[in-house]
Structure 1
Amino acid sequence: MVPTGPIVEDQPHDVEDLEVDLLLEGVFRLFGHDFRGYQREPVKRRLHAMMKDIGATTISALQEQVLHQPATAAALLRGLSTRPAALFDDPDYYRSLRDAMVPLLRSCPSPRIWVAECVAAEDVCGLAILLAEEGLHDRTQIFATAENPCLLEEASDGSFSLDRLSAYAKNYEESGGKRSLSDYCDERHGRAVFSAQLRSNITWAQYSLATDASFNEFQLIVCRRAMPDFGAYLQRRTLQLFYESMPLFGILSVDRSDGLMAAPFVSRYKPLSAESGLYRRVA
Structure 2
Amino acid sequence: MTGTPSGAVPQTVEALEIDLLLEAIFRCYGHDFRGYRREVLKRRLQPLIRDEGLDGLSALQGRVLHDPACSARVIRALTQRPASLFDDPEYFRQLREVMTPWLRSCPSPRVWLAECGTAEDACALAILLAEEGLHEKTHIFATAEDEGLLRDASSGRFAAGRLAEYVYNYRAAGGKRELSDYFGRDAGGPLFSEALRSNITWAQYSLATDASFNEFQMIVCRRALRDFGGHLRRRTLQLFYESMPLFGILSVDERDDMQAAPFVQRYKPVAEACGLYRRIA
Identify the TM-score tier after normalising by the shorter chain: over 0.9
Q: Structure 2: how far apart are the matches of 1:252 and 1:48?
A: 33
Go from structure 1 to structure 2 and tell me whether the alpha carbon gap of 1:49 and 1:11 turns closer, same or farther (over 3 Å shift): farther
- How far residue 262 of structure 1 moved from its aligned partner, in angstroms, is 1.1
Tell me what 2:153 maps to: 155
Where in structure 2 are the equivalents of 1:1-283 lying within 5 Å?
A: 13-257=11-255, 259-283=257-281
What is the TM-score with the length of structure 1 in the denominator?
0.94
Q: Is the 8 A contact 2:103 2:217 kept in 1?
A: yes
For the 8 Å contact 1:12–1:18, the answer to whether it is kept is no
Q: Which amino acid aligns with 1:193?
A: L
Q: Aligned residue pairs: how many?
A: 274
Instruction: Tell me the C-alpha RMSD between the 2 structures.
Output: 1.3
Query: Could you tell me whether the CA contact under 8 Å between 2:225 and 2:254 is conserved in 1?
Result: no
Alignment partners' CA distance in 1, 2:17 and 2:272: 38
Amino acid at match of 1:160: F
- In structure 1, the gaps of 5 or more residues are 1-9
Q: Which has the larger radius of gyration?
A: 2
1:4 is matched with which residue?
none
CA distance in 2, matches of 1:12, 1:237: 27
Task: Look up the SS of the partner of 2:24 in the other structure.
Answer: helix
Alpha-carbon distance in 1 for matches of 2:140, 2:167: 23
Q: Return the alpha-carbon distance in structure 2 between the equivalents of residues 156 and 178 of structure 1.
A: 25
Shift in Å, 1:13: 2.2
Counterpart secondary structure, 1:270: strand
- Per-residue deviation at 1:52? 1.4
Q: Which amino acid aligns with 1:112?
A: R
Instruction: Give yes or no for contact 1:115–1:222 (8 Å, CA) kept in 2.
Output: yes
Q: Deviations over 1:46-83 (max 9, x none)?
A: 11211111222221111001111222111111101100
Structure 1 residue runs of 4+, over 3 Å off? none
On the 8 A contact 2:35/2:231 being kept in 1, the answer is yes
In structure 2, list runs of 5 or more residues that go unmatched: 1-7
Q: Alignment partner of 1:163: what SS? A: helix
Residues 16 and 184 from structure 1, CA distance in 2 versus in 1: closer, same or farther, beyond 3 angstroms?
A: same
